[in-house]
């Protein structure tokens, strides 16, 4: 399955503080390592292989995860322009610039998730998601406890007034 539209607006915080994805309009089932060619997604999060119309698969979601992580830590995506053509040029040609005080472990993970070369992009290597889960930025997370929601979330929304 390829989500193809990972962005902050599609990540919701549940009442218990855990996240949930929303807006499944671009999801596509892709068996094995097959590719699709549909041009879709939100420009700031679109992977280079979509822009280049080379055909793409699941790694586009890992690229978008890297862009989303950058935005969550810095407050904006790494590439921005009112002109979509310029934005795509930036995505294809520019390196992601990080502020000096950017967490070095997060920077490392983002760089690995946003590799243009699919043979180097985390999530798409031989060990798949294991490379991401074992990255030093995520070393403290017990993923089994996370999936079973046994970890206290750092933020729980206030209950809405009825």
Rounded Cα distance between 130 and 112, Å, is: 13
Q: Is residue 5 among the annotated active site residues? A: yes
Name the packing angle between helices 59-74 and 104-113 (round to 10°).
Answer: 150
**Active-site residue, selected from the candidate residues 5, 101, 127, 152:** 5
Rounded Cα distance between 21 and 72, Å, is: 15
Closest by Cα among 134, 91, 136, 138 to 115? 91
Catalytic residues: 5
């Amino acid at each position: 399955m390829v989500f193809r539209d990972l962005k902050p607006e599609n990540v919701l915080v549940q009442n218990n503080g855990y996240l949930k994805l929303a807006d499944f309009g671009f999801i596509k089932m892709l068996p094995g390592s097959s590719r699709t060619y549909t041009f879709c997604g939100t420009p700031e999060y679109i992977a280079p292989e979509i822009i280049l119309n080379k055909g793409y698969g699941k790694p586009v979601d890992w690229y978008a995860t890297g862009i989303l992580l950058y935005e969550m830590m810095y407050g904006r995506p790494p590439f921005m322009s009112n002109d979509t053509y310029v934005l795509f040029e930036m995505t294809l040609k520019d390196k992601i610039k990080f502020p000096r005080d950017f967490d070095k472990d997060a920077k490392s993970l983002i760089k690995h998730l946003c590799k243009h070369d699919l043979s180097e992009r985390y999530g798409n290597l031989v060990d798949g998601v294991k490379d991401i889960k074992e990255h030093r930025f995520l070393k403290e997370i017990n993923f089994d406890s996370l999936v079973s929601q046994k970890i206290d979330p750092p933020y729980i929304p206030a209950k809405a007034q009825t």
